[in-house]
Structure 1
Amino acid sequence: MTGPTDASAVPDIVAHRRPSAEIAGDFVDAHPPLSPDAAIVEANRCYFCFDAPCTAACPTGIDVPGFIRGIATGNLAGAAIKILEENIFGGSCARVCPTEILCERACVRMKEEERPVAIGALQRRATDWLMARNRHPFVAAPASGRRIAVVGAGPAGLACAHRLARAGHRVEVFEARGKPGGLNEYGIAAYKLPDDFARREIDFLLGIGNISITTGRTLGVDFSLARLRRDYDAVFLGLGQGGVNALGIEETPLFGLEDAVSFIARLRQAPDKAEIPIGRRVVVIGGGNTAIDAATQARLLGAEDVTIVYRRGPAQMSATRDEQAWAQTHGVTIRHFATPVRVIGEEGAVRGVVFARTRLDEQGRVVLAGGEFTLGADQVFKAVGQRFILPEHEDFPVVRDGRIVVDAARRTSLAGVYAGGDCVAGVDLTVRAVQDGKIAAMAIDAVLAGEKEHAHG
């Protein structure tokens, strides 16, 4: 938190609002897995479409009918391999991917006004079964003698590393934070990936061999891109979004005013979540998944009154309708068409936020509608987006509109340097970051294979 650090001056931000056991019980798996029998019943609802619109809707191109047929016939290993062949983070994506707007929305059963096949839950059934047996499904090719550097141990970087390691290349991953995992480790609500699943999935991924991860090493501080280009055969940048957007108004440092991403990260790393102080009245500003996760978890910690305020309407929120409903069923109020004007502070601490009412004009732009209202708050979380922070100002690929510019193969403007994930797409889905890493790895491998063939030609 910013501002004064004397929490005694802010009696309404306290730890242990609820007993530890109760809070722990509410942070268990948000969506329990299907039982073996339920999974078979659900799998048999699939029509196994030849053209498979669900596969076309998956950013990583998983053969959805193929893996579901494996579950239906009892071949769980085969089902899991089909998933992991395209998405090595299939386990976490089964838990956090917005299937309701991707594969499940494309399901033909939904088009027939039925509920779609529960593709995400079935994907979890298969991947969990394989991971529980600690059986890595792939074998690395013979050593190529090539070394690739990957900067960032999030889904994009590790997906790239795994695909390159399978091809026999040696991959060294550099991560700025204390743990690998990126968004999965630090940025997702604790109830979506509980029980240390993010770490266990990475341990499973590393079973391919050929990958080493060094944490606490930051590009532009501990090493340069120029050095990586000199020392390695290729470089992949999976840097994520390191900065947090401001509210666009004057922000005086106040106790209780905090970035939502910092709150989520702190909560995910807490052994006893009851130890995390939370206000009695909490306001979250924003309309994406980060806002939903921060608000819902604030309620679970014991906040009595939690309100999300968003400047547009429900249809414009980047959080899906399912996510919005999830927050509301946990007692979160969502107020639309309002933008912050001023954060109210007293004695160095947050006391509330003044909002101006908004509307959308004919072009869909946010304009003021006239009138203001005030929400009292002990704690305010900012969830208005993240941004890419340029780690180096020299010898770095072209950046446009806050994103690294890449082509279809995820090549940057610098020879031998590729990029993917949030630093390319903006804050986006884990599944798309995985696809970026996979595409870049295949492009790197193709170039290295071509060089080898040329050398032996």
Structure 2
Amino acid sequence: MKANALAGGIRPGRLDPEALAEGFCDIHPPLTPHEAAVAADRCYFCHDAPCIAACPTEIDIPLFIRQIATDTPEAAAKTIFEQNILGGMCARVCPTETLCEEACVREAAEHAPVEIGRLQRYATDTLMEAGVHPFERAAPTGRRIAVVGAGPAGLSCAHRLAMKGHDVVIHDARERPGGLNEYGIAAYKTVDGFAEREVEWLMQIGGIRLEQGRALGRDVTLAELRADYDAVFLGMGLGGVNALGLDGEDRDGVDDAVAFIAELRQASDLASLPIGRDVIVIGGGMTAVDAAVQAKLLGALNVTMVYRRGRDRMNASRKEQDHAARRGVKIVTNAVPVAVHGNGAVREMEFEFVEDDLTPTGERFRLPADQVFKAIGQKIAGEGLPDLDGGKIAVTGMGRTSLNGVWAGGDCAAGGDDLTVTAVAQGRDAAEDIHAALMR
């Protein structure tokens, strides 16, 4: 039952605990063994499987599905983890509808692909819930590597290096490890503290030490890391937030969507989180969708996403867009913000419609707002970094930067697509290159 949903202003407790629990429950409940067997039976086990090529981590998808079909989900999980050590989280948050499942032969023939993501979750959950870690460390090499950032790229890199016998120290600025998985993904996609449990499971490989509350530039410099370690991997993500560049942007109620999601993810009581009655989210990516949907789930009466281009140009997949619409989020496209109105606090946002090439049309409109979330991208923060490319660290090959002995991957590196699965692949590949370079 709704509680005070019509009250204006930014305030907590808009919905009662029952409504909050229902709204933030697992968006994709796990498959039962019978459901997994039925789903696996739909796979054609293609010889030249297009789904493998569509997966950034190149998991052997037909193999792991066949292993599920033969009732060996633990073996299926190992097949997944060999390529993607964060396969459990990726099964929950990957836009499979635009990656492996979009490439599925059954999608082309029937518009009903094999449920690869849910099958992957079934396999990885089975092994992780058994408390089994499928890999062992190689003999110690005597080499020490520093990893900056305990997000998907850093964790993936650290695990692969530790597995090869190196000692790894992860320096992370946050109080809890996990990076984007812990702080930046909608709560209904990763329930029951899964991100934290996944990190604990990953650390069972041994040889990894986590130092929290250590930010690059504030607590340790890149020069110090290069001097103290045999190699350095940078996977700290993007710390800065892009600005709208409008007068009045500093008014009360104009906030950062990334910070909003992080606060929500760390909240012990969702009813304590303040949310507005009329909420606007500016942006068209996954962060924008996650912020908009969760604002609605917290009890906002009107939530509107505004994006500067058409829906076909939004970074959020059509599936995510449709999910937002089903939750009651209104999506306005081809519009850019031009003014923030209010006296001390935001009361309205003014927008102008634009053509697909962003040419202004001269047609303007206003939306009431007591809370505005900016989800227009992030930028790298820090000094003394390797050469940049388009606001991110320039890399070549398997993550090599302009500085000798320094690699980079994930959101902070140029050339990626800001997906968890891509960050995992980049961390893994950089680890392989670091290992090869150190062992020559």
| Shorter-chain TM band | over 0.9
Report which stretch shifted further, 280-289 or 249-258.
Answer: 249-258
Matched, 1:440 2:437: no
Consecutive unaligned residues in structure 2, runs of 5 or more: 1-6
Is 1:358 aligned to residue 354 of structure 2? yes
Q: What is the TM-score of this pair, normalised by structure 1? A: 0.93
Aligned partner of residue 191 in structure 1, secondary structure: helix
Question: 1:20–1:272: 8 Å Cα contact kept in structure 2?
Answer: no
CA positional deviation for 1:246: 0.8
SS at match of 1:40: helix
User: 2-side partners of 1:73 and 1:100: how far apart?
Assistant: 25
- Which residue, out of 402, 415, 420, partners 1:413? 402
1:216-255 per-residue CA deviation (whole Å, 9 max, x = no partner) reads 0011111111111111111000020111111132234211
Specify the SS of the correspondent of 1:284: strand
Mapped pair 1:198 → 2:190: no
Output the amino acid matched with 1:328: A
Per-residue CA shift, 1:130-186, capped at 9, x if unaligned?
010110000110111111000000000010000000001000000011111010011
User: CA separation in 2, counterparts of 1:224 and 1:427?
Assistant: 27
Q: Distance in 2 between matches of 1:213 and 1:70?
A: 34
C-alpha distance in 2 between matches for 1:315 and 1:301: 28
Aligned: 1:216 with 2:213: yes
CA distance in 2 between partners of 1:167 and 1:328 (Å):
46
Contact 1:386 1:427 (8 Å CA) reproduced: no
Rounded Cα–Cα distance in structure 2 between residues aligned with 1:330 and 1:220: 41
CA contact (8 A) 2:171 2:214 kept: yes
Conserved in 2, the CA contact under 8 Å of 1:241 and 1:427? no
Q: How does 1:306-455 map to 2 (within 5 A)?
A: 306-346=303-343, 348-360=344-356, 365-389=357-381, 391-393=382-384, 396-425=385-414, 428-450=418-440
Conserved in 1, the CA contact under 8 Å of 2:8 and 2:277? no
The one-letter code of the counterpart of 2:222 is: L
Residue 168 of structure 2 is matched in structure 1 by: 171
What is the CA–CA distance in structure 1 between the aligned matches of 2:17 and 2:65, rounded to whole Å?
A: 39
SS of the residue corresponding to residue 339 of structure 2 reads: strand
1:288-329 per-residue CA deviation (whole Å, 9 max, x = no partner) reads 111111110011000011111111111011110000000000
- Partners in 2 of 1:265 and 1:408 — Cα distance? 33
Q: 1:292 aligns to what?
A: 289
3-state SS, counterpart of residue 47 of structure 2 = coil
The whole-number CA distance in structure 2 between the counterparts of 1:76 and 1:63 is 14
Identify the residue that residue 108 of structure 1 maps to in structure 2.
105
Are 2:96 and 1:99 aligned? yes
Matching residue of 2:128:
131
CA offsets 1:57-88 (integer angstroms, 9 cap, x no match): 10001000000000000011110000000000
Q: Give, in whole Å, the separation in 2 of the partners of 1:11 and 1:309.
A: 21
Distance in 2 (alpha carbons) for counterparts of 1:398 and 1:321: 35
Q: Is the 8 A contact 2:248 2:341 kept in 1?
A: no
Letter in 1 for 2:40: A
Q: Does 1:276 align with 2:266?
A: no
**Within 5 A, what are the aligned runs for 1:45-60?**
45-60=42-57
Post-superposition Cα deviations, 1:188-242, rounded to whole Å, max 9, x if no partner, equal 0110111100000000100100001111001111111111111111100002011
State the TM-score, normalized to the length of structure 2.
0.97
Contact 1:286–1:384 (8 Å) recurs in 2: yes
**Residue of structure 1 aligned with 2:118, choices 115, 118, 121:** 121
By how many angstroms is 1:20 displaced?
2.0
> d(CA) in 1 for partners of 2:238 and 2:153?
12
Structure 1 distance, partners of 2:101, 2:250, is 44
User: Shift of the alpha carbon at 1:11?
Assistant: 5.4
Structure 1 outlier segments of 4+, above 3 Å: none
Q: Which amino acid aligns with 1:429?
A: L
Identity over aligned pairs, percent? 58
SS of 2:355's partner is strand
Q: What is the alpha-carbon distance in structure 2 between the residues aligned to residue 181 and residue 404 of structure 1?
A: 21
Q: Is the 8 A contact 2:153 2:410 kept in 1?
A: yes
Residues 410-435 of structure 1, C-alpha deviation per residue, up to 9 Å, x if partnerless?
11111111000001136610000001
Instruction: Give me the whole-angstrom Cα distance separating, in 1, the residues matched to 2:41 and 2:413.
Output: 39
Which residue in the other structure is 1:453 paired with? Answer: none
Distance apart, 1:89 and its partner CA: 0.4
Equivalent residues of 1:355, 1:373 under 8 A apart: yes
Structure 1 counterpart of 2:421, one-letter code: V
> CA–CA distance in 2 between the matches of 1:257 and 1:352?
11
Q: 2 CA distance for matches of 1:128 and 1:178? A: 26
- Could you say what secondary structure the match of 2:319 adopts? helix
Do structure 1's residue 239 and structure 2's residue 228 form an aligned pair?
Answer: no
Structure 1 range deviating more: 105-114 or 421-430: 421-430
Secondary structure of the equivalent of 1:241? coil
- Separation of aligned partners in 2, 1:282 and 1:193: 24
For 1:155, the aligned partner's letter is: P
Instruction: Tell me the equivalent position of 1:159.
Output: 156
Amino acid at match of 1:434: V
SS at structure 2 position matched to 1:441: helix
Whole-Å Cα distance in 1 between the matches of residues 222 and 260 of structure 2?
A: 31
Three-state SS of the structure 2 residue aligned to 1:184 is helix
Alignment of 1:183-194 (within 5 A): 183-194=180-191
What is the alpha-carbon distance in structure 2 between the residues aligned to residue 131 and residue 19 of structure 1? 34
What secondary structure is seen at the aligned counterpart in 2 of 1:112? helix
SS in structure 2 opposite 1:415?
Answer: coil
